[in-house]
Amino acid sequence: MIEKLPELVNENQAILHRGRFVTAEIQVIVGKEDYRLRIEEGRITGVERGPFIMRPYSITIRAPAEAWGKFWQVYPPPGYQDIFAMTKRGEAEVSGDLRLLMQNLRYFKDLLEAPRKLAREERNA
């Protein structure tokens, strides 16, 4: 799913508008898989699969693969509908520049939720 984020985010003008002030490198960990997303003015310009050693990130978000699977469902179960709901359950961890995250919260939420579009398309097929 993470490899599909550039296509899902960069084609969505609403997400790009919300992220127009965001330039950062973030780390998303899905189970044991480590991904680096390079974001320039809201546009995802690079996705790399790790592992990475000693690389700085603005924000790191990690959760087990099963938790991400529930999060990306068309209708996520309670406790998986939002990244902060997952952290409250102890399923996810968010660290790094929390100011950047909170100042652009809607952008980061939309970015992480973008794969739900694929789940909707699969469901309607």
Containing structural domain, residue 76 = 2-116
Residue 122 lies in a domain: no
Note whether 25 and 56 are within 8 A (CB): yes
Please state the rounded mean pLDDT for residues 33-61. Answer: 92
Residue 121 lies in a domain: no
Residue 91 lies in a domain: yes
pLDDT in tens, 2-35: 899 999 999 999 999 999 999 999 999 999 999 9
CA distance 108 to 84: 12
Count of domains for the chain: 1
CA distance 86 to 68: 9
58: CATH: 3.30.1050.10
Answering whether pTM is above 0.85, one says yes
